[in-house]
Amino acid sequence: MRNLLASAFFGLFLAPLFHATAQAADPIVLTFGDTSSPGQVEYKGVHHFEQLLKNRSGGKIGQVQYFHSSQLGSDKKLTQAALAGSIDIAHSSAGNFGEVSNALLFCDLPGLFQDWKHVRRVWQSPIRYRVVDQIKKETGLTVIWFNIDGGWPREIGNAKKLVRVPSDMKGLKMRTTGSPIEISLYKTWGAGAIPVAFSELYTAMQQGVVDGHYNQPIFTTKPKFEEIIKYFTFVGQSYVTAIKMMGPSAEKKLGPEMVPLVIQAGWDTELWTDQGLEADSDAAVEVLKAAGVQLIHPTAEEQKLWDAASQQVWAEYVGPGKIIPQSLIDEINALRE
* Residue 1 included in any domain: no
DSSP 138-198: HHS-EEEEEEEGGGS-EEEEESS---SSGGGGTT-EEEE---HHHHHHHHHHT-EEEE--G
Of 227, 258, 276, the domain-final residue: 276
Distances (CA, A) of 103 to 76, 134, 138, 261: 15, 6, 9, 24
Of 276, 293, 325, the domain-final residue: 276
Of 276, 297, 324, the domain-final residue: 276
What pLDDT is attached to residue 13?
Answer: 41
What pLDDT is attached to residue 24?
Answer: 55
What is the chain's pLDDT, residue by residue, as a tens digit (337 residues)?
444 334 443 344 444 444 444 455 699 999 999 999 998 999 999 999 999 999 999 999 999 999 999 999 999 999 999 999 999 999 999 999 998 999 999 999 999 999 999 999 999 999 999 999 999 999 999 999 999 999 999 999 999 999 999 999 999 999 999 899 999 999 999 999 999 999 899 999 999 999 999 999 999 999 999 999 999 999 999 999 999 999 999 999 999 999 999 999 999 999 999 999 999 999 999 999 999 999 999 999 999 999 999 999 999 999 999 999 999 999 999 999 9
- Same-domain pairing of 272 and 324: no
Number of domains making up the chain: 2
- Same-domain pairing of 318 and 183: yes
- Same-domain pairing of 213 and 84: no
- Same-domain pairing of 84 and 159: no
- Same-domain pairing of 57 and 140: yes
Helix residue ranges per DSSP H, the chain: 2-24, 41-56, 75-84, 94-97, 116-123, 126-139, 180-189, 201-206, 218-221, 248-274, 277-290, 300-317, 326-333
Domain ranges, residue 298: 154-239+280-333
- Same-domain pairing of 322 and 290: yes
* Residue 224 included in any domain: yes
Written as one letter, the residue type at 31 is T
- At residue 231, φ and ψ (nearest 5 deg) are -130, 145
Written as one letter, the residue type at 37 is S
> Residue 264 belongs to a domain with what CATH number?
3.40.190.170
How far apart CA 132 and CA 319 sit, in angstroms, is 22
Distances (CA, A) of 254 to 126, 128, 251: 26, 23, 5
CB 275 within 8 A of CB 44: no
* Residue 13 included in any domain: no
